């Protein structure tokens, strides 16, 4: 083992942390397989913006009261401060360049950890931080360039903003996916962690899930860009990729999930038979979606068709829509040496967006275990 830096797992959109949802394992076997490094699971806002999630992750690691930033809070229209994490509960209270972390993000967790590194590089929190507080970044099914599925959920193709009547639809479809995994326990305990928007759930008053969703959907949160829906559009990730850098002393890995096949005549991509049923409509939409205008130079709609049910393969590989993000290439079998400052990617075939976390089908559990064992060992060897 070349280092002893902790691994921090950061969930995606509509995800949850330890102790939430009756401690149903968001990370599946990733939380239980042997790990040669200290391992922590984070809990950030499941539908909050990438910026807000990154701030929550920072204070969860170091301890203290979450500070979203004076200017950001004023522009977004929410409170500047959020939850307080006592020092004794901090995941990594001695965090520094000498004691960095390995950040692992699934789905929207990937842009969240990239934003965190950028905020650290800018010393956004006034801690004297740098990008060196992060040893490595690992994206799993990461929305690194956005997801075209957001437009099926009501985001405008021109602006990326949610249509006025689409917030409820966006929330309902996300909840449907989570209910599939967790069952009725979700209804009883789930909270969107939106106190900074004055949108905490009233459990004491026995507020129903439907009532809570209606209140969240009607809030000003979804009128602008400071929400998860906008952040993972192609517009939102284009903005982030311009801002966030790939740093020369950090290792970058991307694990790409895919479970579609190309049609012989159409060239469109279609879900494989064993894809999660709730992801199939998204897979069909992504697999044939054409756009009227390019989002960036050399944009081609067909590049985005192969997908894992929620995110295109093309989007998962590495940040590519804007900015300078050097690529190291594909991870070949048995490769042990990597150059920092470059993105390396590996395809995890016949796996959809959900099977790589949570509890997959029985015949995939061994596959999932081997994936996390290899990931953890790779990080320990850096």
pLDDT at 207: 76
Tell me the two tokens of residue 173.
């479809």
pTM of the shown model: 0.96
Beta strand pairing call for 81-85 and 64-67:
antiparallel
* Whole-number pLDDT of residue 356: 95
Residue 132 · residue 101 · CB < 8 Å: no
pLDDT at 183: 53
Q: Which is nearest to 111 in space by CA: 252, 4, 283, 6?
A: 252
Residue-level pLDDT at 177? 65
Q: Report whether 116 contacts 103 (CB < 8 A).
A: yes
Residue numbers of the chain with a pLDDT score lower than 70:
22, 176-190, 203-205
Domains along the sequence of the chain with CATH = 7-146+232-258+308-380 (3.40.50.1820), 152-223 (no CATH)
Q: pLDDT tens-digit profile of 276-323?
A: 888 999 999 999 999 999 999 999 999 999 999 999 999 999 999 999
- Tell me whether residue 71 is exposed, middle or buried, using C-beta atoms within 10 angstroms of its C-beta: 0 to 12, 13 to 18, 19 or more: exposed
Give the pLDDT confidence score for residue 173 in this predicted structure. 76
pLDDT of residue 288: 98
CA nearest to 5, candidates 92, 89, 71: 92
C-alpha to C-alpha distances, 61 to 39, 80, 85, 114, nearest whole angstrom: 12, 19, 9, 15
């Amino acid at each position: 083992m070349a280092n002893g830096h902790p691994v921090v797992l950061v969930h995606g959109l509509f995800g949850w942390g330890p102790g939430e949802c009756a401690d149903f394992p968001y990370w599946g076997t990733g939380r239980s397989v042997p790990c040669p490094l200290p391992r922590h699971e984070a809990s950030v806002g499941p539908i909050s913006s990438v910026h807000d999630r990154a701030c929550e992750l920072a204070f969860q690691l170091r301890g203290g009261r979450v500070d979203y930033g004076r200017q950001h809070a004023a522009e977004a229209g929410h409170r500047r401060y959020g939850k307080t994490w006592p020092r004794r509960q901090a995941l990594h209270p001695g965090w520094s360049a000498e004691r960095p972390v390995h950040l692992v993000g699934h789905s929207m967790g990937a842009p969240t950890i990239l934003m965190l590194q950028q905020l650290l590089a800018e010393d956004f929190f006034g801690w004297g931080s740098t990008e060196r507080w992060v040893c490595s970044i690992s994206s799993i099914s990461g929305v690194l360039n956005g997801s075209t599925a957001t437009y099926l959920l009501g985001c405008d193709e021109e602006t990326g903003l949610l249509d006025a009547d689409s917030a409820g639809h966006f929330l309902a479809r996300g909840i449907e996916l989570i209910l599939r995994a967790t069952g009725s326990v979700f209804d009883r305990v789930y909270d969107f962690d939106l106190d900074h928007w004055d949108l905490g759930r009233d459990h004491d008053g026995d507020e129903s899930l439907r009532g809570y969703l209606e209140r969240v959907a009607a809030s000003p949160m979804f009128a602008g860009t400071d929400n998860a829906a906008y952040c993972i559009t192609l517009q939102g990730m284009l903005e982030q990729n311009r801002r966030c850098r790939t740093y020369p002393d950090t290792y970058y890995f991307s694990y790409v999930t895919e479970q579609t096949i190309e049609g012989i005549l159409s060239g469109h991509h279609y879900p494989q038979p064993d894809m999660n049923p709730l992801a199939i409509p998204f897979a069909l939409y992504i697999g044939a979606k054409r756009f009227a205008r390019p989002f960036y130079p050399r944009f081609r709609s067909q590049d985005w068709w192969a997908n894992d049910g929620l995110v295109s393969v093309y989007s998962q590989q590495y940040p590519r829509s804007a900015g300078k993000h050097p690529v190291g290439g594909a991870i070949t079998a048995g490769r042990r040496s990597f150059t920092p400052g470059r993105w390396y990617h590996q395809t995890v075939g016949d796996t959809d967006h959900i099977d790589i976390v949570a509890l997959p089908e029985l015949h995939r559990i061994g596959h999932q275990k081997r994936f996390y064992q290899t990931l953890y060992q790779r990080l320990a060897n850096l």
